[in-house]
Amino acid sequence: MEHIQQLTMTGLRPRAARTDARPQVAAPTELPSRERIRRVAELHHRQLVQAKQRTGNHYEILRAQTEALRGFMIELSPEQADEFMNMYTQESSALERDWLAKKSAYKVKEPLNPMLVNSLTFLVTICAIAAAIYYVF
């Protein structure tokens, strides 16, 4: 999702400019398949997670990925660029949802009951006091 936000904030062409007819020097690049777009989204997501784990900051990687996507989208026609961004957004969102679901699956669903924790703390305290009295006398 951050890719999409970064792309929209940092310089996608305005809508009006993208719909105007412009002279085509060469035929636009063919749009990649959904599988290739998913692989790119997986690669970008993996890079972001690794950068976050290594340095705690992933903005440099995000900036580089955004520039790469922007450079590719400039070669596309406006309609292809819109279709590419829609597919990339869908795949990136699906990957992020899966990653968050896996990440949160390892957490405890319910914390320990506070009454149980207080009871165990009380019992350990009583045992510690009894052991101290036994060994002192």
Say which residue, 3 or 56, is predicted with more confidence: 56
Question: Is position 41 within any domain?
Answer: yes
Question: Is position 115 within any domain?
Answer: no
Question: Is position 89 within any domain?
Answer: yes
Q: How many domains does the chain have?
A: 1
Contact between 55 and 3 (Cβ < 8 Å): no
pTM of the model: 0.57
Predicted pLDDT at 57: 84
Question: Is position 27 within any domain?
Answer: yes
**Interaxial angle between packed helices 78-105 and 59-74, expressed in degrees from 0 to 180 and rounded to the nearest 10:** 150
Q: Which helix (H) or strand (E) holds 117?
A: helix 114-136
Question: Is position 134 within any domain?
Answer: no
Question: Is position 72 within any domain?
Answer: yes
- Which range of residues forms the domain containing residue 19? 2-108
Q: For residues 77 and 68, give the distance between their C-alpha atoms in angstroms, rounded to a whole number.
A: 17
Mean of the pLDDT values across residues 88-99? Answer: 92
Q: Taking 80 as the threshold, does the pLDDT of residue 75 lie above it?
A: yes
Which residue intervals of 11-106 are DSSP H helices?
Answer: 15-19, 34-55, 59-74, 78-105
Question: Is position 131 within any domain?
Answer: no
